[in-house]
Amino acid sequence: MIEDSTALSFTQRASVKGMGPLTHETSQGFLAHTCLATHITRWDDENEPEVMLAGVFGQACWARERPQGTRKERKKTQRAQKRAGDPGESARWARAMANAGPMPAGVRWTLVADRECDIFGVLLACCAGNHDWVIRAARPRRTTSASGDVFAAAATAPVLGRFDLKLRARPGVAARQAHLEVRAVTTGIVAPRDLPGQHAPQASQLVEVRELDPPPDVPALHWVLLTSWPCDTFAQARRVVGAYATRWLVEEYHKVLKTGTHIEDSQLSRCERIQALLAIHAVVAVDLLQLKLLAKAYPDQPVARDLLAPQALDILEAKFGRPDKGWTNATALHCVARMGGYLGRKHDGPPGWLSIWRGWLRLTLMVEGYLFAPGQRTCG
């Protein structure tokens, strides 16, 4: 269960009723928190997970209120609310898992999240629901270890091994192969002093991942991961790192919503109507992302009927001809993107989300006409 939040901005529009501020007072929009359900189909020989999408497990939207009073007064109000047990926006983490009820037999749910989710209350909620977690540490939380906080305890843990990890390109940073060193230790995380109630230290494993010899002028990768997964061996710790590395999927999902389906270009006049549209786009975005993942992991596998209906394949075949390998995940994605303007030349890269979305939208409209036409009377 990979969770993350994103801000949807409508600042370019005139005032939309129900919107709230984002990064500054003149901005408007709302936030969307997504719990993306994925399924680890297998672990390879290097303990890298092969992950497929199951769907959107939960999604919550909210608009912030305009700030009132001075900064000092707002801080005082926030402290009072925290002492009263109000978690504020942090309550969104793990909420979808907590509200879903018991897990199906033979299934384990693991919350995977970035540093914003480093909240002691989230660990308590996961334990209460018998859920696992892999969360990147953000704060020097106190531990029961003599070494000190979580960062110090992880840094002094024994080295379990080293491995190479492919890092995706980031803004301003090119993709690269990182040589990493892994340490792991078991400890207890002490509850914050300002947390209401009495709470015993929370047992957790710490996994430190540190890059050795990074490229010049590039910050070295350094993760400290909190997890409930066992980390007694290098293989076990390696799986924790592999699970956290899948977190990019939720970022890619939000990218589909923004640059693919263009949810921020909606011309609807009220916030709740845009959020209702987002619920539709959310399902479409999962299907498109799943098709792209399958085209990369299983390019020669026949495309699934729940992703592209037979009528859609008939239309693609009539327009582009039947591919030599038949309708596989790769050929289907290629032709959908061509419907949206992708040229697919020999030296072109893989199709982007804009061409995939435009192609899917055009194909969907043609399928509706294809299904509607046989019932219509024709002249002549």
pLDDT in tens, 44-90: 888 889 888 999 999 999 998 876 666 676 676 666 666 555 567 78
Distance between CA 221 and CA 210 in Å, rounded? 6
As given in the structure block, the two tokens for residue 94 are 């793990």
Distance between CA 245 and CA 182 in Å, rounded? 14
Q: What is the pLDDT of residues 307-343, one digit of tens each?
A: 888 899 999 999 999 998 899 999 999 999 999 998 8
With contact defined as beta carbons under 8 Å apart, do 134 and 227 qualify? yes
3-state helix, strand, coil in the chain (%, to 5): 35, 25, 40
Provide the pLDDT for residue 74. Answer: 64
**Is the model's pLDDT at 379 over the cut of 60?**
no
Distance between CA 142 and CA 193 in Å, rounded? 10
Distance between CA 369 and CA 35 in Å, rounded? 34
Provide the pLDDT for residue 363. Answer: 93
Residue listed under structure tokens 């949807």: 8
End-to-end CA distance of the chain: 57
Provide the pLDDT for residue 350. Answer: 84
Provide the pLDDT for residue 64. Answer: 86
Domains of the chain in start order, with CATH, are 133-246 (3.90.350.10), 298-375 (1.10.740.10)
With contact defined as beta carbons under 8 Å apart, do 201 and 148 qualify? no
Provide the pLDDT for residue 278. Answer: 95
H or E, element range at 244:
helix 234-245
**Is the model's pLDDT at 205 over the cut of 80?**
yes
**pLDDT > 70: what percent of the chain?**
93
Q: What is the pLDDT of residues 211-254, one digit of tens each?
A: 998 888 888 899 999 999 999 999 999 999 999 999 999 999 99
Q: What is the pLDDT of residues 95-125, one digit of tens each?
A: 999 888 888 898 999 999 999 999 999 999 9
Distance between CA 38 and CA 367 in Å, rounded? 29
Beta-bridge partners for 166: 177
Q: What is the pLDDT of residues 284-301, one digit of tens each?
A: 999 999 999 899 888 999
Provide the pLDDT for residue 80. Answer: 64
Q: What is the pLDDT of residues 131-164, one digit of tens each?
A: 999 999 999 999 998 888 999 999 999 999 999 9
Provide the pLDDT for residue 271. Answer: 93
